[in-house]
Amino acid sequence: MHFAFPPRKTSRTPPYVAAANSRKSGALLPRRKAKQLALFALIALGFFYLVRSMFGSNANGSSSVELEEPIPAGTPPVVLVTTFVDGLSEQFKSGVKRNREAYAAKHGYATFYPNNSDYNLGSQPASWGKVPSMRHAMTVFPHSTFFFYLDYNTLILEPSINVETHITDKNRLEELMIVGLPVVPPDSVITTFSHLSGDSVNLILTQDAEGLCQNSFIVRRGEWAKYFLDAWFDPLYRSYNFQKAEGHALEHVVQWHGTVLSKLALIPQRIMNSYTQETHGKTDSLYQEGDFVVSWPSCIRDRKDKCEEDMTAWFGIAESRMEEAS
C-alpha cells in the first residue's frame, strides 16, 4: 500500500508570500520606529528627571525631590515640645512652662505641652509618650521647620542662644557633626556617616556614656520625620519591653534602619544637653556657665518628685537669666 506524503517544506519563501510580507513590513517599519523613538524619549526624560531630583537643589539649598509648600507668615520656625506625665505637681509644671515660654517669646518660637495620658500607651512606660507627642505637634504646627523635644527634667539656662544659629544652620551643623562615631558607645560597629550635608540632616541627637539621649533632640519636619516617628513608635518595638523603653528602641531603629542613620547627626552633648552630674565617670558632659540646656538624667528614672526636688534651686537661676535677657 502506498501512502501519500505531505509536500516537503522548503526554506525558500514563495514569491507571493515574500511580496506580501515586504509590503506589510514596509508599512509597519515607520510606525514601529516611531514607537521605539517615543519609548527612548520617555526613558531619557525619566532619567533626566531622576538625576535632577537627586542632585538638583533650590535656592535654599534643599533637595528638589520634595517640593516645599509656602510657609505662612508668622509661622514659628521652631516648636518646643515637652510631654508631662501624671503625678507631677502643678507648681512644678508651671515652672517648666514658664521656662519654655519665656525663651520661646524671645525668639519667636512656639511651645506645645501634651500629657502622656493623651495617647494610648497601654501598659508601656509613660516615657513612650514623647514619641506620639512629637507627631502630634507636627499636626498642630504643620508649617514649622524644627521640633525641639525637651523632657520635663531639662531647663533652658541660656536664653540668648538661638536654635537655628546654635545648632540647625547648615554650616553650623556641619561643624558640630561627629562623624564615624559608634552610635551606641563604646564599640558599636554602626557609626555615623562621614559624608553628610547639613541640609540633609533630619534628626539631631546627643550621646552620653550609656547611649543615645532622647531627653533632648531635634527633628526637621517632613515626610521622613513622620516615617521615623512612626517607626520608633511601632507596636512591635514597644512590645519588646526594652530595659530603657523608648531609649533602647531608638538605638535599635538607628542601628538597623539605614534610612534613619543616613539622616542622623550626633553633636557634642553640651551643645543642647548638659548634665548636672557625671555618668560613668564622664565629665565632659557636665554643665558649664553659658551652656544652653541643663538636664537631670536620673531623676525621672528614680522617681517623679525627685525632679522637683533636684531642679527647684535652678528655676530661680533660669528665671533671673530670662529677665536679664528680656
Rounded Cα gap, residues 253 and 140, in angstroms: 26
Domain-located, residue 22: no
DSSP helix/strand/coil, 212 = strand
Rounded Cα gap, residues 238 and 247, in angstroms: 11
pLDDT in tens, 21-40: 544 445 444 666 656 665 66
Residue 3's pLDDT is what? 45
Domain-located, residue 13: no
DSSP string covering 176-199, please? H--TT-BSSTTT-S-B--SS--GG
Question: Is residue 216 pLDDT above 60, yes or no?
Answer: yes
Domain-located, residue 70: no
Q: Residue 84, Cα to own-chain centre: how many angstroms? A: 22
Mention every residue, 6+ apart, whose C-beta is less than 8 A from residue 248: 211, 242
pLDDT in tens, 172-181: 999 999 999 9
**Cell numbers standing for residue 297:** 538624667
Helices then strands (H, E): number in the chain?
A: 11, 9
Domain-located, residue 8: no
Among 52-56, 219-223, 241-245, the range scoring the smallest mean pLDDT is 52-56
Mean pLDDT of 43-55: 51
Residue-number span of the structural domain to which 261 is assigned: 78-325
Domain-located, residue 281: yes
If you average pLDDT over every residue of the chain, what do you get? 84
Residue 249's pLDDT is what? 95
Quick one: what percent of the chain has pLDDT higher than 70? 77
Domain count, the chain: 1
Residue 134's pLDDT is what? 98
Supply the CATH number for residue 101's domain.
Answer: 3.90.550.10
Mention every residue, 6+ apart, whose C-beta is less than 8 A from residue 96: 82, 84, 152, 155
Question: Is residue 144 pLDDT above 90, yes or no?
Answer: yes
Mean pLDDT of 268-276: 96
Whether the CB-CB separation of 306 and 88 falls below 8 Å is answered with no
176 vs 7, residue with greater confidence? 176
